[in-house]
Structure 1
Amino acid sequence: MQEDLDITTGEKPARAFSIRTILPNAVTLFAFMAGLTSIRFALAGKWELAVFAVLLAGVFDGLDGTVARLLKSTSRFGAELDSLSDVVAFGVAPAVVLYLWGLQSLDRLGWGVALIYAIAMALRLARFNARLDDEEEPRKRLGFLTGVPAPMGAALLLVPLMVDFALEDVLIKSYPALIIIYTVAIALLIVSTIPTISLKAIRIRREAFVPVMLVIGVVIAGLFVRTWLVLLIIAALYLASMPWTYMAYERRRKQKGI
């Protein structure tokens, strides 16, 4: 069958991409730029803006996949771009911010600790890409993630800064040894195989919908009033939920006979 030709040139038209293909990748680039911008703020000593930029990258990272699925424009290119963006926004940027804020005084040791976190994030993302098409992975089959996801890992890494923002009398940066221990612990959680909560797998019963929306409203209101304190509470609840998540995974795994 003869292919359609361009009526002006008489040649085969070049393949074109629709806006629905471009839009998810543009959102991913916003996350990438937010991550880089956080480094700029850190170099200028604007710590709250630096942390906020990383958190904003997390918001964009959550949106790009949703936009792609809604527009039915998921692609391998988008997946690769998303992974590269994650390395910068949630691996390199938080490591640099934390180093400049609280580890720079330790010179090589501080930089080495920052590198440990960045390497852990790169390894996690590489593992994620390698298992992208593996639908038989036990945790994925049961609706769980493997290890702490990249955006949450970056947010947890920056908790020491949030403590200083929320509690002005507490200067965590004065205790670099604690920051080192905490950073290494977060790096281990990122590369671990511990099952963690997947928001996409959570289902809310009909009768619980209104109470859950009320809680979400309270959290959003709290973010406007005491931003850093509310974020600290969310981070603490996430860490506290990990043992419960592990028990829920083991229970479901035994029920399914996996």
Structure 2
Amino acid sequence: MVQRPPALGGGTLGRRRRAIRPPRLGGLTINKLLPNMLTVLALSAGMTGIRFATDQRWEHAVVAIVVAAVLDALDGRIARLLNAQSKFGAELDSLSDVVSFGVAPAMILYMWGLNEARSFGWIACLLFGACAALRLARFNTALGSAAQKPVWAYNYFTGVPAPAGAGLALLPIVASFELGRTVVGHPVFVVIWTVGMAALMISAIPTFSLKGLRIHPRYVVFVFLGLVLLAAGVVSAPWTTLLILGLGYLVTLPFSVRQYRRLMDQAESLVGGEDVPVAEAAADEAAEQPPV
């Protein structure tokens, strides 16, 4: 009787073959890569805004920065929803923000009107880019000390966020689409405006953050109606809508400062009146707060 050789799947030979087989390379799913993809797209949109500015296509340049801001708002939230946060993604997001909301708006403004102010215009351009980088560096270093931040302050940014700062800096260009460049395009005004927006980004002014905002069920319908009106305004009158949104954001700054100080006074009176340690009080309040 002829004996057959043992199958490769069993026996000593099969075990040896499996032992020397190289391990399979692990890969990343699309869910893990999606936030970083959005970040790269935001970076590309910001750089494309510079390209449009070199061609003096100012409307397209502003739209490119708006698209970068929308993508920047989505990547972090999608990363948290998909549990795809990573150190690499955080660093990539910061570098993208420096380009899209620091360098790109500054260069667009310089080619649009700051260059007419000569050296003062270039100084304003440099200040805006540098302040955007400093603002993001401060934000990154503050992440490690988040546990020391009071709970009631979680819904506030320190200074104007970089995407909002870029949008505010471009408001003179947006206004010129409706009012004409002679009204808001004077070099002195553009220089002062650019420096002021740069100062807002690195300031210590508390500004509202909508990350932890909770909407009562009875107001959800009104929120959806507001989104419909916003979409209609963007489609029918985009520049007027963007101008109103930017000026409306500036109007909220005094209210955010007042609300922040009121919460701070209440926290100090609560701790001083009941003699409760700050850490314990923060821990008790954190248990009742939604995740940010």
Alignment check: 8 A CA contact 1:163 1:170 kept: no
Q: Structure 1: which 5+ residue stretches go unaligned?
A: 1-5
CA distance in 1, matches of 2:65, 2:19: 48
Question: Which of 85, 96, 109 matches 1:85?
Answer: 96
Q: Secondary structure at the match of 1:203?
A: coil
Equivalent pairs, count: 253
Match of 1:105 in 2: 116
The equivalent position to 1:244 in structure 2, one of 255, 269, 277, is 255
Matches within 5 A, 1:104-123: 104-123=115-134
TM-superposed deviation, 1:64 = 0.4
**AA matched with 2:126:** L
Q: CA shift at 1:253, angstroms? A: 1.8
- Counterparts of 1:175-254 in structure 2, within 5 Å, are 175-254=186-265
Distance (whole Å) between structure 2 residues aligned to residue 80 and residue 44 of structure 1: 31
- State the SS of the aligned residue for 1:200: coil
Q: Does 1:129 align with 2:137?
A: no
Q: CA deviation at 1:104?
A: 1.1
User: Secondary structure of the equivalent of 1:145?
Assistant: strand
Percent pairwise identity: 43
Unaligned runs of 5+ in 2: 1-16, 269-277, 279-292
> Aligned pair in 2 of structure 1 residues 150, 140: CA closer, same or farther (>3 Å)?
farther
1:26 maps to which of 23, 34, 37: 37
Deviation digits for residues 6-52 of structure 1 (CA, Å, limit 9, x no counterpart)? 95962333342222111110000000000000000000010000011
Deviation of 1:78 (Å): 0.2
Other structure's SS at 1:201 match: coil
Secondary structure of residue in 1 paired with 2:172: helix
1:204-231 per-position Cα deviation (integer Å, ceiling 9, x unaligned): 1111111222122111101111101011
Distance 1:213 1:226, change over 3 A: same
CA contact (8 A) 2:153 2:260 kept: no
TM-score by length of 1: 0.92
| Residue 144, structure 1, aligned to residue 156, structure 2 | yes
Q: Residue 286 of structure 2 corresponds to which residue in structure 1?
A: none
Q: Which residue of structure 1 lines up, in the alignment, with residue 178 of structure 2?
A: 166
**TM superposition outliers: structure 1 runs of 4+ over 6 Å:** none
CA distance 1:9–1:73, change in 2 (3 Å): farther
Q: Which amino acid aligns with 1:79?
A: A
Instruction: Assess if the C-alpha contact under 8 Å between 1:142 and 1:249 holds in 2.
Output: no
Q: Which residue of 2 aligns with 1:48?
A: 59
Deviations 1:65-110 (A, max 9, x none): 1111111100010000000000000000000000000011222221
SS at match of 1:131: helix
**One-letter identity of the residue aligned with 2:114:** L
Matched residue, 2:12: none
User: Do the aligned partners of 1:34 and 1:89 also contact (CA within 8 Å) in 2?
Assistant: yes
CA contact (8 A) 1:29 1:85 kept: yes
Structure 1 residue matching 2:231: 3-state secondary structure? helix
- What TM-score do the two structures reach when normalised by structure 2? 0.82
